[in-house]
Homo-oligomer: A and B are copies of this chain.
């Protein structure tokens, strides 16, 4: 059996005995206003014929005509990262509900790669972009602004650009309050890279809450590394090299926290008895580790959904103000009362 010749609007029109324009109008109207375009029995006949023939509109023809592709492009640092994969899923879900399809692509937080990926997406004629890899200072965004390309941000902020975010400052604050409440007095931070607003905001919130609680986070209690397990190991090594061990470590990412856990173990420091550890993101594994990890969870699926909605509002000239979601602290076994 060979691939069936896909029926076109013309086929449907001929079979139903009406003009293609009528079929087009009926098929593109909601159940509510179909009556505006054809008599009830004509509508019924068209619908039935399209159904029987298995008609599907050719999106390329429609795009060509309307100059709208119903396609969006999503740029993430790494799709292998659970948080980003989930944000994409949210975008994809919300998009599908409105007839949009989404392309995703990895930027690897690399300038050249980001640039190339965005150009490819634009070549594919996406209607707009969701960028999940914004930098605090970001020339790419300026370029998009100049070219008037519709886009929104997600997760990572840049200036006061519109996007769907988690309240990372609040997240950092939750961690500090949790630690203070348990009696920790000398915490340290292993933070992600400077170009990510998320890492910065978490540290800021953490520091502010500590101060409000009468504690000071000195510079030698903060180390900036990356987002992976290796960063956690390096971070612990660095902190311990600087002097006496802190009584808790806040890693701004679960992977870094897990790396830290390993490094602490090698040095004979017991968690949570000798030292507390808190991560960020609530990675699926956090719950299932031999010592379940205390961490912070943000509603990342919702962030993805909201980002798409923002973009769609942008594309249809509706208001689309920034939205911010609130994270929650998930206390588990790597912290406990002292």
Contacts and interface: CB of A to CB of B under 8 A. Distances in A.
Instruction: Give how many copies assemble into the complex.
Output: 2
Contacts of A105: 92
A177 interface: no
A58 interface: yes
A255 interface: yes
A35 interface: no
A237 interface: no
A222 to B, nearest CB: 22
A258 B255 CA distance: 14
Contacts of A58: 64, 125
A60 B88 CA distance: 24
Given A80-B82, A85-B79, A229-B288, A101 B103 contact: yes
Interface string A203-237: 00000000000000000000000001110110000
Contact of A79 (B88, B123, B232): B88
A288 B259 contact: yes
Contact of A61 (B3, B64, B289): B64
Contact of A289 (B3, B122, B289): B289
A54 to B, nearest CB: 10
A102 interface: yes
Interface residues of A, number: 56
A36 B184 CA distance: 76
A284 interface: yes
A286 B280 CA distance: 18
Interface in A81-108: 82, 85-86, 88-89, 92, 96, 101-106
A124 B101 contact: yes
A28 to B, nearest CB: 15
Given A147-B3, A255-B288, A288-B258, A79 B89 contact: yes
Interface string A138-163: 00000000111100000000000000
Interface in A259-298: 259, 261-262, 265, 284-285, 287-292
Nearest to A266: B290
Interface string A120-142: 10111100000000000000000
A291 B288 contact: no
A235 B61 CA distance: 53
A220 B254 CA distance: 36
A140 to B, nearest CB: 16
A58 B122 CA distance: 10
Contacts of A229: 284-285, 287-288
10 contacts: A1-B148, A4-B148, A59-B60, A59-B123, A79-B85, A82-B82, A229-B288, A265-B290, A289-B290, A290-B290
- A-B residue pairs, 4 tightest by C-beta: A229-B288, A60-B63, A3-B148, A60-B60
Interface of A: 1-4, 56-61, 63-64, 69, 79-80, 82, 85-86, 88-89, 92, 96, 101-106, 120, 122-125, 146-149, 228-230, 232-233, 255, 258-259, 261-262, 265, 284-285, 287-292
Given A1-B147, A59-B124, A82-B82, 6 more contacts: A3-B149, A79-B88, A102-B103, A228-B284, A229-B284, A289-B289
